[in-house]
Structure 1
Amino acid sequence: LGASYIALPWWAGHALFGELTPTLMVLTLFYSLAGLGIAIVNDFKSVEGDRQLGLQSLPVMFGITTAAWICVLMIDIFQAGMAVYLVSIKQNLYATVLLLMIIPQITFQDMYFLRNPVENDVKYQASAQPFLVLGMLVVGLAIGHAAIVG
C-alpha cells in the first residue's frame, strides 16, 4: 500500500524522465514504509466493522494500543533512517531539517493518536501529515543537492 502511494510514482517519474537507480529505489522504499504507517491509521476508524467481518487489520490483530504504536514507530523510525542516510552523504543541514520535521509529528502522535486512535485519527493526520510530506521534500532536495543518483 505504501509503495503505491510513494515508491511507484517516484520510480515511474525517474524511469521516464531521469535515471532510476538502486539508491533511489531504496530511499523511496523507506518513505513507502513510513507511508504504510500513515495508511494503517485509516484502519482504526473501521476496527469494529473489521472485527465483525473477520478482517485481519492491524488494530484487530494486535489490539488498538499496540497497533497505534506500530504505526507511529513505522512513521518515525523510517524517517529517522532517512536522516541517518542524509548524514552519511554529508547532507547534515538537510538531515537536521528532516529531524525537525519529525518532532511535531511525535508531538501530534502523543497529543492525539496514541491517546485515542479511534477518535483522533483524522485530527492526527491533519496535524502531522504535512510535516511528513515536507520531510519528503527535504529528502528530495538533499538528494538533488548531493547529486546522488547512482
Structure 2
Amino acid sequence: MLRLIKPVTWFPPMWAFLCGAVSSGVALGAEWPIVLLGIVLAGPITCGMSQAANDWCDRHVDAINEPDRPIPSGRIPGRWGLWIALAMSVLSLAVGSQFGPWGFGATVFAVIGAWAYSVEPIRLKRSGIWGPGLVGLCYEGLPWFTGAAILVAGAPRWEIVATAALYALGAHGIMTLNDFKALEGDRVMGVNSLPVTLGPDRAARVACWVMTVPQLVVVGLLLLWSKPIFAAVVAVLILGQFAAMRVMLRDPKAKAPWYNGTGVLLYISGMMVAAFALRGLA
C-alpha cells in the first residue's frame, strides 16, 4: 500500500505548501500546527490519493511499463486499489474541511483534478498539454496558493498568486520529462504525451523552454518589486538548470530521471527563494 501511494511524489506539493506559508508574510511560530497539518494534507493524504487513483486507472498501462507495480502484480488484488483511492479521497476532504472555506475549496479542486487526470472518460492524462498542465497546477500552484490563503484567512496578494501560477506553468515541463518513463506503454495505450507525439528529443526541448520562461518572468518581477538580490539568486539557479539541461538533451530518454534529481532540485530551490522575497513584500 505504501508503494501504491508513492512517497517519492509527495515532496513537490509539500514543498509548494510550505512556500505558500512562507510567502504569506504571517509569523509562522504560532502557526506551525496548521502548517504541518497542511503539509501532511498536501503530501501523504491528497497526493497519495492521486497516486492511488492514477495507479488504479493506469493498471493496464502499468502492466506494460511497470508490471511489478502493486496492482498489475496482484499484490493489491481485486478492487482494493479502487477502494484505497476512494477512501483517501474522503479522508482528503475530511481533513481539508478543517482549513476553512479556502482550504476546503482547494482540497475539493485537488480531489476532482486527481480523478479528472486519470479516470475515463475524462482522462486528461491522454493529452500532452492538459495532463501535465493539471498536474503542474495541483503539484505547485494550488498548494502554494492554499498555504498562503490559509494563513492570511483570505485571498493571497496578487504577487503571490502570480508567482505561484508561474511556477505551476513551469512545472508543466517537469511533468513532461516525467512522461519519458512511460513512453512505450503510453504509445500502446493511446496516451498522447508530448514524448509520444513529438518524440523524445523535441519533447525534451519543449520541456526545457516551458521550465525556463516562467522562471525568467519571476526574475523580472522580483526586479520590478525591488528585490534584486533574490532575483540574482533565482537567475543563478536558472543558469545551473541550463547546465543540467545540456547534459539531459544529449539523451533525453535516458537522462530525464537524472534531470529530475538535479535540475528540478534547482527549480524548487528557486521557488523558496521567491517565497522569501514575497514575504519581504508583506
What is the TM-score of this pair, normalised by structure 1? 0.92
Cα distance, 1:11 vs structure 2: 1.4
Q: Hey, which of these two has a bigger chunk of helix by percent?
A: 1
Q: Does 1:127 align with 2:275?
A: no
Q: What is the match of residue 67 of structure 2?
A: none
* Deviation digits for residues 53-85 of structure 1 (CA, Å, limit 9, x no counterpart): 111001111121111011111111111110000
Contact conserved, 2:179 with 2:195, CA < 8 A, in 1?
Answer: yes
Contact conserved, 1:30 with 1:78, CA < 8 A, in 2?
Answer: yes
Q: What is the match of residue 57 of structure 1?
A: 193
* Deviation digits for residues 26-77 of structure 1 (CA, Å, limit 9, x no counterpart): 2101000111211111111211211111110011111211110111111111
Cα distance, 1:4 vs structure 2: 0.5
Q: What is the match of residue 34 of structure 1?
A: 170
Larger relative contact order (CA 8 Å, sep ≥ 6): 1
Q: Which amino acid aligns with 1:14?
A: A
Q: Decide which of 190, 204, 210 is 1:74's aligned counterpart.
A: 210
**How do 1:71-150 and structure 2 match up within 5 A?**
71-111=207-247, 113-147=248-282
Cα distance, 1:5 vs structure 2: 0.7
**Structure 2 CA distance for aligned equivalents of residues 58 and 41 of structure 1:** 9
Q: What is the match of residue 17 of structure 1?
A: 151
Contact conserved, 1:30 with 1:82, CA < 8 A, in 2?
Answer: yes
**Structure 2 CA distance for aligned equivalents of residues 119 and 67 of structure 1:** 13
**Structure 1 CA distance for aligned equivalents of residues 225 and 158 of structure 2:** 15
Q: Which runs of 5+ in 1 are unaligned?
A: none
- Classify the secondary structure of the residue corresponding to 1:56: coil
Q: Which runs of 5+ in 2 are unaligned?
A: 1-134
**Structure 2 CA distance for aligned equivalents of residues 127 and 21 of structure 1:** 31
Q: Which amino acid aligns with 1:3?
A: L
Percent identical among aligned pairs is 29
Q: Report which stretch shifted further, 120-129 or 88-97.
A: 120-129
**Structure 1 CA distance for aligned equivalents of residues 177 and 205 of structure 2:** 11
RMSD value over aligned CA atoms? 1.2
**Structure 2 CA distance for aligned equivalents of residues 53 and 66 of structure 1:** 21
Q: What is the match of residue 5 of structure 1?
A: 139
Q: Which amino acid aligns with 1:93?
A: I
Cα distance, 1:21 vs structure 2: 2.8
Cα distance, 1:23 vs structure 2: 2.8
Greater C-alpha radius of gyration: 2
Contact conserved, 2:208 with 2:245, CA < 8 A, in 1?
Answer: yes
Contact conserved, 1:102 with 1:131, CA < 8 A, in 2?
Answer: yes
- Classify the secondary structure of the residue corresponding to 2:280: helix
Runs of at least 4 residues of structure 1 off by over 3 A?
Answer: none
What is the TM-score of this pair, normalised by structure 2? 0.50
